[in-house]
Structure formats: C-alpha cells, structure tokens
Amino acid sequence: MSNLAIKANYVGRTYKVKASGKRRDQDKSAPKLLTALDGVDLEVKQGELFGLLGPNGAGKTTLIKICTTLLAPTSGQVSVAGLDVVKDAQAVRHKINMVSGGETSGYGILTVRENLWMFCQFYGIPTKEAYRRIDKLLRVVELEDKASTRISSLSTGQRQRMNFCRGFITDPEVLFLDEPTLGLDVTAARIVRKFTRDWVNENPTRTVLITTHYMAEADELCDRIAIINNGKVHACDTPQNLKKLLQKQPVFKIVASRIGLEAIEQLKTVSGVVRLTAKYEPEKDALDMSYILEDESAIGAAVTKLTSIGGNILSLKKEEPTLEDVFIKLVGKGLTEVDENVQP
Amino acid sequence: MTETAASSLALTLRENLRTFRIASWLGWQIESNWADPIVFLIFSILRPMAAALIIVVMYQVIAGGVRDDFFEYLFLSNAFFVLVTQALAGMSWTIFDDRENYKMLKYVYTSPARKFAYLIGRAVGKIGIGILTTLLLLAVGILFLHVRMDVRTIEWGWLSVYFVLGVIILVSLGMVLAGVSLVIARHGEFIGEVTAGSLLLVSSAYFPPDILPIGLKQLSLAVPVTYWLEAMRRSLMGGVLTTTFNGARVPLSPYLAIFSNVDLLLILTISAVVCSIGSYYFFSWVEQRAKEKGMIDRVTGY
Amino acid sequence: MYNRSVHQRVVHFLRAANGRAYPRIWGLSREPSWVFFDVLVPLLNTTAFVFLYRAMHAPESYVGFVVLGATLSAYWLNCVWMMGTQLHWDKREGLLELYVLAPVSMMALLWGMAIGGFYQATLRAVAIVLVLSIAFGVHFDLMQWPMELAIFSITMLALYGLGMALSSVFLMWGREAWQLALALHEPAFFLTGLNFPLSKLLSSLPGFFTFISAIIPISFGLDALRQLMFPGEIAGVLSPMQEVLVLCGLAVFFVVLAIFALRRMEWLARVQARLSLRWQ
C-alpha cells in the first residue's frame, strides 16, 4: 500500500476566460483559455506537513480544489489517500477536509457551536462526540466564550478561528489549509500553527497540505515545500535544501573590534575559510566581517583565531538565504504581482 | 441665496446626478447581464403578462363571456399595478442584493455617494421595465383582448400629470420599504413584492373599494395608490367607469366617483409631497437604527 | 472504496438531513420578521382574491377554492424559492463548496432543506387556512380525510421531488436559472389553477397545456383536494383517484430525476468550475 497521501500526476486544468471590462472588439489576440495548472507532478507523503507556495494566480487554490474533489482536472490524475479524486470522489471526501482563509463558512443566524455541530452532522459524527470535539477545539483557539454567539456577531478573526475548528473537527486523514491564518492576530496565528504541527505529529497517518503567503510560516511549519508559479512546480524540497539552491556554503557575519590589515590576512588562512571580506564601519567603530566557510564547523576555528589575535567579538550570526530569497530567485517576482485580465 | 450656499447646492446636485447615473448603469448591468438583451426583455415582460392573463382568464371563467366596464377596470388596474410592484420591489431588493449577495453596501455607505440617489438609480432598471411592461400590456389589451379604450378619448393632460405624481409616490413608498429592509433579515427580500401584493386588497386594484368591509374601505381611502389607479383608469377611459344596475348606468365605484379629477389631482399632489418628505425622514431614521444594530454589513441568510 | 453498512449509511443520511434542517427551523424563531412576510401578507393577498371573486359575483364555493389554493401555494413557493434557489445562495456564500466537500449525499442536504422548508410552509399554510376559513366562513368537507391526507402527502412528495430536481439546475447555472424561475412564476400560478378551478381553465386551452399543467404536482394535487373538500361544487380535470395515480408517478419520476440530475449537474459543475463561481 502506497504511503503517499497525495499524488498528482501531470495534472492540468484550463479555464475558459471571459473578456475583461474592456471593449470586446479590442485585443482580439487575447487568449481564450487560461491554463491554471500545467503538468503538475507532486507527491506528498503520509505524515507530512507540506507547503505550497506561489504568487496570486499561481494555481495553488486550483490544485487544492482538484484534490478536494471540487474541481475536475482537465488532464492528468490526482489521488488522495490512495483514492482517485475523480472516480472515487465520494470515498475521498470521507478522508479529507479543507479550511480556506478569509471566508465565512456558516449561517449567520446560528451560533458557533450550532454551525460546527451542523458540519459534524454532514460528516456523520454523533452529536455527543461532536460536542466533545467542538468544546476541545474551541478551547484550543480560545473561542470557548463565543460558543453561544451568532457568527454574524463575530469579528473576522473569530470567524476564521471557527472556520479553522471546522476543518479539524472531523479528524481527516488529509487536511487542506488554504491560507488558514489569514485574518488572525499574531497570538491566534501562533496557536493555530502550533496546533497544526502537534496535530500532525500526534498521528503519523495525518497529513496536511498548507498554502500560505507568509514565508516564515512555511519555513517554520513545513517538512517540505513546493514552489508553484504559472501552473508549474518550480522546486520541491525541504526548506533547508531549497535555501541551499541559492547558497551551498554557510555564511557567518561577525562584527568585531577593529584589527589591523595583517591580522585580517591571518584570518583568511584559517582552515575551512573559503573567503573573508571585511569592511570598517566608522559609525560603529567596528569591523563588519563576512566569512564564507566550507562547513559550519569551521566557525569555531575562525572565532578562536580572531580572539587570539586580539579581536573582540561584538556580534556573530549565521546568514542564510530566506525562503523569500529562494522564492524570488525561482519565480522571478514578488508574491503580490498578478496577471492582468485573468478571470477563471 | 449667498454664493456659498448656491455653490454648495450646485455641488450637491452634481453629486446626486453622478450617483444616480452610475447607480442606474449598475442596476441595469446587474438586471440584464444573465442573458442576451432580447431574451432578457422577453423574460422581463413574460411574467407580468402572465399575471395579467390570470386575471383575464378568471374574469372570462366567471363572467362567461359577458363584458362590461368591470373588465376594463380589472385590466387597466392590473396593467398599472405592474409598476407598483416593480417600484416597491426595486429599491428594497437593492438593499438585500448589495448587503447580502455582493457585500457592497458597506462600501457604498463609506463612500461620498448620495444614498437616496443611489437607491433610486439602482431601481431605475426595474421601474423602466415596469413602465415598458405596462405599455405593452395596454397594447395587447387593445389589440387582442378588445379592451374598450379609444385613443381619441384619452385625457393626455391628466394622464401625464397623474403618471408623474404616481411615480413620485411609488418611489417614495419604495424608499420606505428600502429602509425597512435595512433592519430585517434576508427572508424579507421579497418585501417589495409581498407589500405590493397586500396593497391589492386595499388599493382598488382588482375591485372597487365599495365591496370591502367598512374598516378596509376607510383604509383604502388612506392609500395613495387607490387614487392613483382610479386616476389612471379615468384618464385612459375618458371618464368614470360604469356598470349597469337596474337598467341604468351607474359608476362602478360610487365610492371613488365622488372625487372629481381636480380632487384626485389635489390628493395625489399632497400625497406625493407627504410621501417624499416622509420617506426621506423615515429612511434616515431607520438607517440610524441599522447603524446602531450593525446591520449595514450583516449577512443574515439561513 | 469506503465500505459502510446500510445502517451506517442511513444513519449518516439522517444526521446530515437533520443538520441541514436545523438552521431552517431554528432560524425562524431568531428572526421573527418572517411572520409578517410569510403569514400576514399572504393573508392579505389571498383576501384580495376573495373580494375579487365577490366583485365578479362568482359562486361562494370559489372563495373556498382560493383559500385552498393559497394554502398550497405556500408549499409551491417554498419548493421553488427555498429549495431550488437555496443552492444558488449557498454558492454565493461559499457554503456550496463545503457541502460538496462533505462525504454526504446532496440528496441528504436537500431532504434537510425540504424538511425545514416544509415546516416553514406549514406554519404559513396553517395560518392562512385557519384565519381565512374563519373570516370568510369556508367549510371544508373532511369526511374523506384519509384520502385527503394521502393526496396531500403524495403531492408534497412530488412537489419537493420537483424542488430537488430544480435545485440541480441552480447548482449548475446561477442567475440564469434564477431569472427563469422568476419569469415562470406567474405562468406556473396560471397553469396550476391556484386561484380558480383548473378544469375551467384547461377546457378553454389546447390539450398541450393540460400536459404542462399536469407536470406541476400542485395542479392535480389541488384539483383532487378541491373535489373531495368541496364535493359537487367543482368538476375536476380527472377523478381524484386518477389524479393520485398521476401524482404517484410524478413523485417517483421527480425523486429519481433529482438523484440523477444532481449527480450529473455536480459533475458538470466540477468540470466547468461552477461550484465556486460566485456571481455568475
């Protein structure tokens, strides 16, 4: 039996595009079909917390909709929990759930508890068990005092917390989180991230696929990340390995008290130092040094040498490319750029 | 008027016109974008035509082919009542549509757009369709149902004045319903149409108010739509509608026949003034209540 | 394939239906303005028709016909607008995706909506029939109440089956279907004889209209009930028993149609990405 929670095999999805607000007789060469996904290959192992990063319009939500049986792919095949999302859609639905950020999922006239109970009924969860899960999850997201409040009276963040509960309450095998921390304050977002991580760790059969625009969130949470743009996956690896695409060797920044040129030349000869650049900063009256090393372990020898020649270390930090640097390098643009004249 | 006041008034008028123009365009886009214009027009007209047909068939079934002025009474009232329904429904529906479906009402409220002009503009599409439907119904009535309406005897002067006053009254009533819509849940989205339906009882639309019990009869005299429908019927038929009773021709509605054309003009003018001013203050008051209750951007569906 | 026993499937179906019916039933008590719209105003509307018949000097039995027609119209309106269009509104709210995502048959959700809607419509219908019967002195002959109850039940089954089938259309199309339903509102009232005896209408129209009328469950349901509740006052289109047989056929047809249409429409909606197209 395959241990893949999600397997996308050369998945494609195209949409027919309506003309934009411009006059229809303009720009006749405009494309009639929008390709949202173009041959996406992806494997997510069971027990993984997998991240999907991409700018707006990259195809993240389209891929999630296909995985969650809301959309049929135009080509290719997707299986979730070992089941084909097209042929075995109903069976797949028993094993999944989805939380989308920024949406109100429920009826304004019902309370938080009632809305969550209603969704539990759709999943066949007995009422007693449903209430037990509801109470537990509301405590996790610190919403228990709003359990009897109509959701039309909740703030955006509170609704999103309720939405979050709705996703976990059915204890799915595969959970899709589409920007789940959107609209949440810092504390709530932290709680949500921690809960998600703990939830996956608790049971090795649980898998989460998360899309987010917050790089730090992806870096912190995800076991592996796929970077998608224009319907194609550009890279898929652990956050550390993705960063190594930009910079294979570790870089350390040391700020030290001023030393002479000869001393700096001596530092360059330390074993394991590939390259050393130093710049004097008059405002700080200190030396900014950048070490490129063969291996992280060489920093010990470098520090020892520096202190032995009379250098006083003021600060030391490891510099590595951020996920955002990797993203921009691979995608070639920032997160907020979107294609014009696109309406799925 | 000082220069400042004059320029302020001019600015207000410009803003109102601009808001009205944009809202009318928007209302038309929303009403018509689901189909080709021709299909849209056909469907827009089909429904009131069918409503008229119901009344005609009912009359034919009961009267067994015997015709008197009551058929004209019924048909003409029904034709103009289409406008009543569209005007009342147009503005109240705008509130629900913008608040619950498009979630745009809060943005309209936070913009400098003039609210009254916006609501009236949004309803223009529906009112326009109502007017068109009424005209088509009248044409169908004359050509195919032998409604005894002679174009030569139509009192065009009275007709024009009564029509304009009627539109003012209906738009004002629509504004009242729009205000009510602000503070109720979405199951009231047909408040316009159901209110129009309840007006059937007391506005002499389907029958003379003479046959109503005394309480309802008096209520019908308090409803401006009663006078408006009577005014439209009279101006189209060239006089009061009559029926035969004991061999003599008597007014179909003695209750309404006591009002002369000038009386109707006076009543409708006063009604138009009272309804416009009243609806403005009512809407403002309800709007404030809606803001206090947080209803401007609340979604209430279930 | 996910294997569950029949018992588990039935329990799940019922739970889902119960869940969906809940907001419909309890929503009423939390927003009391529905009393005005769903009860008081239709009372006034129907009263207008009663007076219209009196103005036309129609036989007094026509008052009873109108009252009974108004009672059943509550269910007809509920079927079209609260069943058919509900999925359209749910789509706009983003809830439709969550319904499709859930491992529950759409039929279960529609049954829940139907139960909730039936409750709403019954409140309206009871108010209309009680108030108007007393106000206008209408007497219903209930001697054959088992037959009358059976006709009513089968009519409701066929009607809500039609509502479910209509909802599949709204699942696929949005505003086009909504506008179509709006446009056919009055023609449907016309052809179902809600306000006057159906036989008198159909006798003056080509036979094709009888067929169209028969397809709408309210038509024959109302006609059969009128024949039983006002014996001797009305000639029906067919005998009550014949009309019951037609209704049984319609009930089976619409429910089966709904099952297949929902599956087909859901599939098409997934292929054409219409499940989350909010403002089409």
Exposed / middle / buried, residue C268 (Cβ in 10 Å: 0-12, 13-18, 19+) = middle
What is the pLDDT at residue B97?
A: 81
What is the pLDDT at residue C174?
A: 64
Query: What are φ and ψ of residue A290, in 5° steps?
Result: -120, 115
Q: Which of C190, C56, C204 lies closest to B73, judged by CA?
A: C56
Q: Does B101 touch chain A (CB under 8 A)?
A: no
Q: Can you say whether the dihedral through the CA atoms of B172, B117, B134, B93 is positive or negative?
A: negative
Could you say which of C18, C26, C270 has the minimum Cβ distance to residue A121?
C18
- b/e map C47-68, b = 16+ CB within 10 Å: bbbbbbbbbbebeebbbbbbbb
**CB-CB contact of A35 with A14 (8 Å):** yes
| pLDDT over threshold 90, residue C187 | no
Q: Calculate ∠ Cα A13-A16-A19, nearest 5°.
A: 140
> Which among A60-64, A103-107, C23-27 has the top mean pLDDT?
A60-64
What is the pLDDT at residue C1?
A: 42
What is the 3 state secondary structure string of A122-143?
HCCCCHHHHHHHHHHHHHHCCC
| Contacting residues for C263 by C-beta, under 8 A, at least 6 apart | none
Q: How many CB atoms lie within 10 A of CB A120?
A: 23
**CB-CB contact of C166 with C254 (8 Å):** no
Where would I find the H helices in chain B? 3-32, 37-63, 69-96, 105-110, 115-144, 156-182, 191-202, 214-221, 224-237, 254-257, 261-293
What is the pLDDT at residue B8?
A: 83
Could you say which of B35, B185, B191 has the minimum Cβ distance to residue C179?
B35
Contact A120 C19 (CB under 8 A): yes
Which positions in chain B touch A106 (Cβ < 8 Å)? none
Under DSSP, is residue A1 helix (H, G, I), strand (E, B) or coil?
Answer: coil
Q: Compare C275 and B276 and report the one with higher pLDDT.
A: B276
Q: Does A102 touch chain B (CB under 8 A)?
A: no
Smallest CA–CA distance from C101 into chain A, residue: A93
Which positions in chain C touch B192 (Cβ < 8 Å)? none
Where would I find the H helices in C78-216? 86-93, 95-101, 106-136, 145-172, 175-183, 185-192, 198-203, 207-215
| pLDDT over threshold 60, residue A24 | no
What is the pLDDT at residue A68?
A: 92
Which positions in chain C touch B54 (Cβ < 8 Å)? 186, 189-190, 195
* Rounded distance between C-alpha atoms, residue C250 and residue A305, angstroms: 93
| pLDDT over threshold 50, residue A101 | yes
Q: How far is A225 from chain C (nearest CA, A)?
A: 25
> Structure tokens of A169?
């309450």
Under DSSP, is residue A99 helix (H, G, I), strand (E, B) or coil?
Answer: strand
> Structure tokens of A32?
């009639």
What is the pLDDT at residue A3?
A: 85
Contact C52 B206 (CB under 8 A): yes
Exposed / middle / buried, residue B36 (Cβ in 10 Å: 0-12, 13-18, 19+) = exposed
* Amino acid occupying residue B166: G
Contact B61 C57 (CB under 8 A): no
Exposed / middle / buried, residue B279 (Cβ in 10 Å: 0-12, 13-18, 19+) = buried
- Mean per-residue pLDDT, A296-305: 90
Of the CA atoms within 13 Å of residue C225, those in its CB half-sphere come to 28
What is the pLDDT at residue B189?
A: 64
* Rounded distance between C-alpha atoms, residue B179 and residue B196, angstroms: 16
| Contacting residues for B141 by C-beta, under 8 A, at least 6 apart | B52, B75, B76, B79, B147, B149
Q: How confident is the model at residue A243 (pLDDT cuts 50, 70, 90)?
A: confident
Q: How confident is the model at residue C166 (pLDDT cuts 50, 70, 90)?
A: confident
> Which among A261-275, C110-124, C148-162, C193-207 has the top mean pLDDT?
C148-162
Average pLDDT for chain C = 86
| pLDDT over threshold 50, residue A260 | yes
Q: Does B102 touch chain C (CB under 8 A)?
A: yes
Asked if this assembly's ipTM is beyond 0.90, the reply is: no
Q: Which chains touch C (3 or more CB pairs under 8 A)?
A: A, B
Contact B302 A104 (CB under 8 A): no
| pLDDT over threshold 80, residue C128 | yes
| Structure confidence by residue, pLDDT tens digits, A170-228 | 999 999 999 888 878 888 888 889 999 999 999 999 999 999 878 888 888 999 999 99
* Rounded distance between C-alpha atoms, residue C58 and residue C64, angstroms: 11
* Rounded distance between C-alpha atoms, residue B18 and residue B24, angstroms: 10
Exposed / middle / buried, residue B1 (Cβ in 10 Å: 0-12, 13-18, 19+) = exposed
> Structure tokens of C15?
């739970």
- Mean per-residue pLDDT, C228-240: 91
Contact A107 B301 (CB under 8 A): yes
Smallest CA–CA distance from A101 into chain C, residue: C94
Contact A109 B301 (CB under 8 A): yes
Give the pairing of strands A174-178 and A207-211: parallel
What is the pLDDT at residue A339?
A: 38
* Rg value, chain A, Cα: 25
Q: How many CB atoms lie within 10 A of CB C25?
A: 17
Q: How far is B242 from chain C (nearest CA, A)?
A: 14
* CATH for the stretch A248-319: 3.30.70.260
Q: What does the domain layout of chain B look like in residue ranges?
A: 16-293
| pLDDT over threshold 80, residue A331 | no
What is the pLDDT at residue A20?
A: 52
| pLDDT over threshold 90, residue C106 | no
Which positions in chain B touch C31 (Cβ < 8 Å)? 184-185, 187, 300, 302
| pLDDT over threshold 90, residue C46 | no
Which positions in chain B touch C213 (Cβ < 8 Å)? none
Q: How far is A149 from chain B (nearest CA, A)?
A: 14
* Amino acid occupying residue B154: I
Q: How confident is the model at residue C248 (pLDDT cuts 50, 70, 90)?
A: very high
Q: How far is A69 from chain C (nearest CA, A)?
A: 7
Q: Does C30 touch chain A (CB under 8 A)?
A: yes
**CB-CB contact of A191 with A140 (8 Å):** yes
Which positions in chain B touch C89 (Cβ < 8 Å)? 101, 301
Q: Does B47 touch chain C (CB under 8 A)?
A: yes
State chain B's maximal CA–CA distance in angstroms. Answer: 69
What is the pLDDT at residue C277?
A: 59
Which positions in chain A touch B294 (Cβ < 8 Å)? 153
Q: Which of C177, C40, C163 lies closest to B188, judged by CA?
A: C40
Smallest CA–CA distance from C37 into chain B, residue: B188
| Contacting residues for A260 by C-beta, under 8 A, at least 6 apart | none
Contact C103 A93 (CB under 8 A): yes
Could you say which of B53, B59, B212 has the minimum Cβ distance to residue C56?
B59
Q: How far is C49 from chain A (nearest CA, A)?
A: 35
- Mean per-residue pLDDT, B42-58: 74
Q: Answer left, alpha or beta for residue C35, where phi above 0 means left and psi between -120 and 50 means alpha.
A: alpha
Q: Which fold has domain A4-95+172-245+325-331?
A: Rossmann fold (3.40.50)
Q: In sequence order, what DSSP letters do the residues of C181-246 get, joined into one string?
A: HHHTHHHHHHHHTSSS-HHHHHHTS-HHHHHHHHHSHHHHHHHHHHHHHSTTT---SS-HHHHHHH
Q: How confident is the model at residue C178 (pLDDT cuts 50, 70, 90)?
A: low
- pTM of the entire structure? 0.80
| Structure confidence by residue, pLDDT tens digits, B143-177 | 888 888 888 889 999 999 999 999 999 999 999 99
Q: Give me the sheet containing A96-100, strands edge to edge.
A: A96-100, A174-178, A207-211, A49-53, A224-229, A232-237
* Rounded distance between C-alpha atoms, residue C239 and residue C224, angstroms: 7
| Structure confidence by residue, pLDDT tens digits, B121-141 | 888 888 888 888 898 889 888
Q: Does C249 touch chain A (CB under 8 A)?
A: no
| pLDDT over threshold 70, residue B36 | no
3-state helix, strand, coil in chain A (%, to 5): 35, 30, 35
What is the pLDDT at residue A250?
A: 84
Q: How far is C45 from chain B (nearest CA, A)?
A: 5
- CA C243, chain centre distance (Å): 17
**CB-CB contact of A224 with A238 (8 Å):** yes
Query: How far from A210 is each of A51, A186, A305, A337, C244, CA to CA, in Å?
Result: 5, 18, 45, 21, 55
Strand segments, DSSP code E, in chain A are: 4-16, 33-45, 49-53, 75-80, 83-84, 96-100, 174-178, 207-211, 224-229, 232-237, 251-257, 273-281, 286-293, 313-319
Q: In sequence order, what DSSP letters do the residues of C19-69 get, joined into one string?
A: HHHHHHHHHHHH-TTHIIIIIIHHHHHHHHHHHHHHHTT--THHHHHHHHH
Query: How far from A81 is each of A1, A37, C5, CA to CA, in Å?
Result: 10, 21, 21
| Structure confidence by residue, pLDDT tens digits, C131-155 | 999 999 999 999 999 999 999 999 9
| pLDDT over threshold 80, residue A282 | yes
Q: Compare C109 and B101 and report the one with higher pLDDT.
A: C109
* Amino acid occupying residue C265: M
Average pLDDT for chain A = 86
Which positions in chain A touch B300 (Cβ < 8 Å)? 108-109, 152
What is the pLDDT at residue A28?
A: 52
| Structure confidence by residue, pLDDT tens digits, A31-79 | 578 889 999 999 999 999 999 998 888 899 999 999 999 999 999 999 9
Proportion of chain A above pLDDT 70, given as a percent:
91
| pLDDT over threshold 90, residue B185 | no
What is the pLDDT at residue B115?
A: 84
Q: Can you say whether the dihedral through the CA atoms of C188, C71, B177, B292 is positive or negative?
A: negative
What is the pLDDT at residue B296?
A: 79
Which positions in chain B touch A109 (Cβ < 8 Å)? 185, 300-302
Q: How confident is the model at residue A168 (pLDDT cuts 50, 70, 90)?
A: very high
| pLDDT over threshold 70, residue A340 | no
Which positions in chain C touch B69 (Cβ < 8 Å)? none
